[in-house]
Amino acid sequence: MKTLKLSDEKALELYKNADQSFKCLLEENFGKDFFKPKLITDKVFDIETLCEYLNIDEDELYIFKKNTKDKHERYINACNILPKIAQIYNEGVILDWKNTNIYKYLPYLSFSGSGGRVVVFYYWRYILGGSIGLYYKTNELSKSSYNNFQSVWEDYWGIKAN
């Protein structure tokens, strides 16, 4: 009996173009779930996985030092990070701003009458409420962006949510 050593990445690559018998062999060894497509939000969900996905060191993500206390520097860092997240989460989809039938989603904060802050995820078809680089193709991706990178969004807005 011979043993074949195969990395996860190589198995996924081979599976894409394999015939049915080889796919069965791979599924027996790795399990069928291993080859099911994974959501991008399961792959990129924090700064560490963002850097892994971009294949960069974390220091390269920041324009100013990582833990700066200066609000403006934190904002500039967020302006560098958030469009990268949107681009990755949108998985190559370029949002068409000339087509008003296609919704575009943006996380934003709404301040309630009592002064409490509530995160709201809203769609836009023909009104631009921020940089186009921050919009998402689905509401779920918009929510995940905020939930997974809340501190970056708060740095972008210049406030801390409750």
Distance CA 109, CA 116 (A): 10
Residue-level pLDDT at 115? 58
Q: Has residue 116 got a pLDDT over 80? A: no
Say if residues 108 and 145 touch (Cβ distance below 8 Å). no
State pLDDT tens for residues 88-100: 999 999 999 888 8
Q: Which amino acid is at 71?
A: K
Please state the domain extents for the chain.
7-37, 40-157
Residue-level pLDDT at 145? 95
State pLDDT tens for residues 31-83: 888 888 789 999 999 999 999 999 999 999 999 999 899 999 999 999 999 99
The encoded tokens of residue 27 equal 């599924």
Residue-level pLDDT at 119? 67
Say if residues 84 and 53 touch (Cβ distance below 8 Å). no
Distance CA 48, CA 27 (A): 29
Distance CA 124, CA 101 (A): 10
Band of pLDDT at residue 160, cut at 50, 70 and 90: low
pTM above 0.85, yes or no: no
User: Residues, the chain, total?
Assistant: 162
Residue-level pLDDT at 130? 75
Half-sphere exposure of 57 (CA within 13 A, CB side): 4
**DSSP track, 109-123:** EEE-TTS-EEEEEEE
